[in-house]
Structure 1
Amino acid sequence: MDNLSKLFRCLTVMFFLLCSLFFHGIPSAEAGNRSTGDILEDDVARFAHDFRSIFSSPAHFDGSDWMTVFAVAGTATAAVLWVDDPVREYMLDNRSGFMDDLVSVGDYYGKLSTGYYLGSTLYVAGIVSEDEWVRYTGRAVLEAHTFSLLITGILKAVTGRSRPYLFEGNKQFNWFEKENSRWSFPSGHTTAAFAISSALSRRIDRPWATTGLYALSGITVLDRIYDDKHWLSDTIIGAAIGTAVGLAVGKMINEEEARRKKGGLESLNERPVELVHFSLSF
């Protein structure tokens, strides 16, 4: 890896650390009233609660919710299937040194390890500094990253879509595959990138941060197609999964933080979070 690529990666990490340390408002002193053991025990319980909320949500969908999910997912996938090949050919025909360096940032941002490095760093920094906002943000990244990739991992194995470099076409779904070369749908890198960006966007809640975060996720989309690892349609669904889970987790964490600031948390027996919600008026 050349020095320019290393610089891009360092700047990416520094960007998030600066966001976390300087743009979150007044730190809460509540953490100082509990031991580290109490904090860890509470966060493990909350992590498990949030996991149940995310994964039990579909069990509470009604017919309309399921129709919305299938309609949106099916329409989005079908709409881009016909441009998968042209987009792939364009990317492969327009390689350059600049693009090589640019997409390396997207590749790094979408890696499995990046989300855990970033989330863990923020979480530990929040505990050490007794800063509730930073700790909550670290947990939001870890939760969004983990939950969204579990969903994507299951879909990969079930659908068994062939990756572009196998030259089997974009309609080759083999179903229940174990080989990574047939785990194209959805894109795991894209899922991770959008999950992290969405969770951080909810936490930072600044227009400039949201713009920068989603632009960074967009570079991950470019990387997956540019490196011939995924079809465009793989990245669209990966982005949808990451965004839905990241925003849902960010919302739960924000509400948890607000309740604690008001004097404590209620029972963990709360209703599942809404992953799909549309309001239409005529």
Structure 2
Amino acid sequence: MKYLILIALLFSSVFTNAQDVIVSQKESTWKNFTYDMGAVFGGIGHSYSRPFHWQGDDWANFGYLTAGTLALFLVDDELNNWTNGFSDDIPGFVLDYGNEYGNPANNYMMTGGVYLAGLFTKNEKLRRTGVLLISSATAGGFLQQVSKRIIGRARPKSGDSSSTYDPFHLNRVFNYDSFPSGHAMLAFSNAYAIAKQFKNPWVKAGIYTVGFIPGFVRIMDDFHWVSDVAFSTVLSIFIVESIDRYLDSKYNEKYNAQSKKLSWNMRFGPGTLGVAVQF
């Protein structure tokens, strides 16, 4: 009888400890989740507030972005005619991937999956990556939706020229919502954030290439002008970098301890006009 009592007490103790561990894990998971969601909204707010804190180099970078976009504006119609010349040669699977991956619903399925994997495996690095992906996509997505309605630029498929605008609409006007490109912004935000996990430049280049496909496909399908995609791609880099700096103060895991400054170079020459961005 004595041994039965001891065994019963032992099982009771183990069961109680197991319950405590389960409860503790649930509390820890919920605590991490609420903390991360706060970081998501904090990152979005931080990215939107950055222009009020810009200094010399920041305004110079914005000037380069503006100058590069305006330069492309001048040749958008010619570039569109050129891309139409080989758009039929693009493989179907590339077009399908480009149109589907940049879709907001598919984008959040991917970014949410990355975050939940980090949350439930207690991996802070993966959690932080998920937070960076979600906050960057949300900040860029909201910004481009508002901009489309304000600017009202005609899409190539509308049949109008790149200089045609129908601005200032509360509701979205299809075929007059070209600038900027949401697909390009979402896709390259993801690629740029994920590439931060790797140091190998070839791996980074491969990820960037995959991230650029949706923007390229949208040009091929006459949904966007080249300047739409170029501007959106560079803007997505600005957003990710801004939020990533903010997250440095929120998480111990810093996979990107290297300098986070963008390097710009204007290039002029015979038949050449452009802006080179190093990141």
The normalised TM-score by structure 1 is 0.74
Distance 1:213 1:99, change over 3 A: same
- The 1:96–1:102 alpha-carbon spacing in structure 2 relative to 1, beyond 3 Å, is same
Question: What displacement does 1:230 show?
Answer: 0.4
Kept in 1: contact 2:102–2:186 (CA 8 A): yes
Match status 1:187 vs 2:181: yes
C-alpha offsets along residues 124-162 of structure 1, whole Å, 9 cap, x if unaligned? 111222222222211111111111112222221111101
Letter in 2 for 1:118: M
Count of residue pairs the alignment pairs up: 236
Distance 2:85 2:240 in 1: 34
2-structure distance, mates of 1:89, 1:185 = 18
Question: Is residue 47 of structure 2 the alignment partner of residue 54 of structure 1?
Answer: yes
Summarize the alignment of residues 1-282 of structure 1 with structure 2, pairs less than 5 Å apart.
35-62=28-55, 65-66=58-59, 68-69=61-62, 71-96=63-88, 98-177=90-169, 178-254=172-248, 256-258=250-252
The 3 A distance-change label for structure 1 pair 150 and 205 is farther
1:258 CA displacement:
2.5
Contact 1:73 1:237 in 2 (8 A): yes
Q: Tell me, in whole angstroms, the C-alpha distance in 2 between the residues paired with 1:74 and 1:36.
A: 43
- 2: distance between equivalents of 1:77 and 1:98? 25
Q: Is the 8 A contact 1:198 1:246 kept in 2?
A: yes
Rounded to whole Å, the distance in 1 between the matches of 2:80 and 2:91 is 15
Q: Return the letter of the residue paired with 2:196.
A: R
Distance 1:95 1:59, change over 3 A: closer
C-alpha deviation, 1:224, in angstroms: 0.8
Structure 1's 204 and 254: CA in aligned 2 closer, same or farther, altered over 3 A? farther
Residues 79 and 226, structure 2, Cα contact 8 Å, conserved in 1? yes
Instruction: Report the more deviating stretch, 118-127 or 104-113.
Output: 104-113
**1:246 offset after TM fit, Å?**
1.8
Q: Rg bigger for which structure?
A: 2
What 5-or-longer segments of structure 1 have no aligned partner?
1-30, 262-274
Q: 1:246 corresponds to which letter in structure 2?
A: V
Q: Which structure carries more strand by proportion?
A: 2
Asked whether the 8 Å contact 2:189–2:236 carries over to 1, the reply is yes
| Percent identity of equivalent pairs | 23
Amino acid of the structure 2 residue aligned with 1:45: G
Q: For the residues of structure 2 that align with 1:67 and 1:148, how far apart are their CA atoms?
A: 21
What do you get for the CA RMSD once the two structures are aligned?
Answer: 2.9
Structure 2 alignment gaps of length 5 or more: 1-23, 266-279
